[in-house]
Amino acid sequence: MAGSPDVMDKLVSLCKRRGFIFQSSEIYGGTGSVWDYGPLGVELKKNIKDRWWHAMVRSRDDIEGLDAAILMHPRTWEASGHVAGFVDPLVDCKTCKGRFRADKLEDARCPQKPSKQPGQHDACALTEARQFNLMFKTHMGALEESASIVYLRPETAQGIFVNFLNVQQSMRQKVPFGIAQIGKAFRNEITPGNFIFRTREFEQMEMQFFVEPGTDMEWFEQWKQLRMQWHLDLGLSPERLRFHQHTAGELAHYARAAFDVTFDFGGTLGYQEIEGVHNRSDFDLTQHQQFSSKKLEYFDQVNNKRYVPYVIETSVGADRVTLAALVNAYREETVEGEPEGRVVLGLHPAIAPIKAAVFPLTKKDGQPEMAQAIVSDLRGAFPVDYDESGSIGKRYRRQDEVGTPFCITVDGQSTGDQTVTVRDRDSLAQDRVDASQLRGYLAAKLAR
């Protein structure tokens, strides 16, 4: 059942067994909290990113796309506040050598038995908290000296801010308008974990919407609602989604107001942030103006005035939404007449890695040839799998487990009348469809 404590363990195992997600550098014992997406995982995440790109960029006149570089001028991170302020308080235990976030001790477990919070065993010897910067540092060029330090970006947002005028002027955009990008971000998290929930290398899908000061709270409200709707449209259950409003103490250094879209991952994780919607005011553009000595103002020609726009940011983790989609989709079901039951990933068809699987019922009588011809035709439009091994029941189960919405079977009748059966993953209903109409039939179902 989705939401039960062991769903995450079952998902980690399914994701590895079925080619969704592998531990990075597994043959060397793995890299801490870094994951590789396998053949089906890369399709799933790509479908989620494409859906976001379509909703945020392609379907709107007022948002432009961008792909800024990961490495940026080091002054960027001074201006943004990350060099001074992107820190977590860290404590070490001299006894167990564990390392914990000082502000999250209640969520941490000491490795000594019985299970207790760090500091609660007599033998625990916690150090004073010290501030630990989460940015990964590296060097640009041949010399490893302090002047050559650059950072792996901890958020994609700053690549947007520094390009604000480039995009606005080259695309002749008028405020209000937005800039969106999808890209990798890196954080040296003290306590990563929970599979792909919190990792050190991850992907963000961020959009900065530039508005006239004074109209910011109106836009903030609008983006909050639009982003929640996007998650609902992705198929995440309404009962598992809710907003969390940041209190004054929780607000990031740049934020005037912030709401998280949270998703109930079940088990010990429960409700957690998957997206942040922030009112960043004019903090970032003003900072970059000051640090670069370049004006980042917008000139409103109609009203003949200049101002530094306010920014409403929507920031969502591609990996975190992928995990939410997997947790949301995972279910175990009993099937009449089949004591072993079935595991189903009830993914929204639009994000399922494989859209349809084609099976010949037997390996003779021209059925494999007809099935292969259908595969070739459908591959022009969708990712399609072909499978002729094992019983038809086993083949269905294999596809259910990876979320394939439709299974097409070529049977004894098919080679005669050119019809096939199409089985629906969720209802298990079977339609008999003319093979020449399959593309249109599937396209109509997938478009929903």
Q: Which residues bind ligand GAP (CB under 6 A)?
A: 155, 157, 187, 189, 198-199, 202, 204, 206, 273-276, 313, 315-317, 319-320
Our CB check for ligand GAP shows the closer of 48 and 157 to be 157
Our CB check for ligand GAP shows the closer of 93 and 157 to be 157
CB of 189 to ligand GAP, least distance (A): 5
Q: Are 110 and 121 in contact (CB under 8 A)?
A: yes
Q: Which residues are registered as beta bridge partners of 242?
A: 262
SS3 sequence, 358-427? EEECCCCCCHHHHHHHHHHHHHCCCCEEECCCCCHHHHHHHHHHCCCCEEEEECCCHHHHCEEEEEECCC
Q: Are 375 and 359 in contact (CB under 8 A)?
A: no
Q: How many residues can be counted in the chain?
A: 448
CB of 443 to ligand GAP, least distance (A): 32
Our CB check for ligand GAP shows the closer of 43 and 313 to be 313
Our CB check for ligand GAP shows the closer of 312 and 438 to be 312
Our CB check for ligand GAP shows the closer of 272 and 372 to be 272
Our CB check for ligand GAP shows the closer of 274 and 354 to be 274
- Looking only at the bridges linking them, the beta strands covering 419-424 and 430-434 are antiparallel
> In whole angstroms, what is the distance from residue 128 CA to residue 98 CA?
14
Our CB check for ligand GAP shows the closer of 284 and 385 to be 284
SS3 223: helix
Region of 29 (left: φ > 0; alpha: ψ -120 to 50; beta: rest) is: left
CB of 290 to ligand GAP, least distance (A): 20
CB of 48 to ligand GAP, least distance (A): 12
Our CB check for ligand GAP shows the closer of 173 and 322 to be 322
- Cβ-closest residue to ligand GAP? 317
CB of 303 to ligand GAP, least distance (A): 30
Q: Are 325 and 319 in contact (CB under 8 A)?
A: no
CB of 127 to ligand GAP, least distance (A): 24
Our CB check for ligand GAP shows the closer of 231 and 425 to be 231
> In whole angstroms, what is the distance from residue 404 CA to residue 352 CA?
6
How many CB atoms lie under 10 A from the CB of residue 82? 20
CB of 373 to ligand GAP, least distance (A): 43
- List the one residue out of 89, 161, 157 whose CA is nearest residue 129: 89
Angle 154-287-82 from CA coordinates, rounded to 5°: 25
SS3 141: coil
CB of 73 to ligand GAP, least distance (A): 18
CB of 10 to ligand GAP, least distance (A): 21
Our CB check for ligand GAP shows the closer of 274 and 408 to be 274
CB of 278 to ligand GAP, least distance (A): 7
CB of 339 to ligand GAP, least distance (A): 39
Among all chains, which residue has been given the structure tokens 């949301």?
Answer: 328
What are the residues whose beta carbons fall under 8 Å from the beta carbon of 182, sequence distance 6 or more? 49, 52, 53, 67, 156, 203, 204, 205, 206, 318
> In whole angstroms, what is the distance from residue 325 CA to residue 304 CA?
47
> In whole angstroms, what is the distance from residue 25 CA to residue 31 CA?
6
> In whole angstroms, what is the distance from residue 210 CA to residue 426 CA?
42
CB of 155 to ligand GAP, least distance (A): 4
Task: Name the H helices within 59-124.
Answer: 75-79, 82-85
- List the one residue out of 296, 293, 294 whose CA is nearest residue 283: 296
Angle 87-88-93 from CA coordinates, rounded to 5°: 135
Our CB check for ligand GAP shows the closer of 64 and 275 to be 275
SS3 62: coil
Our CB check for ligand GAP shows the closer of 155 and 400 to be 155
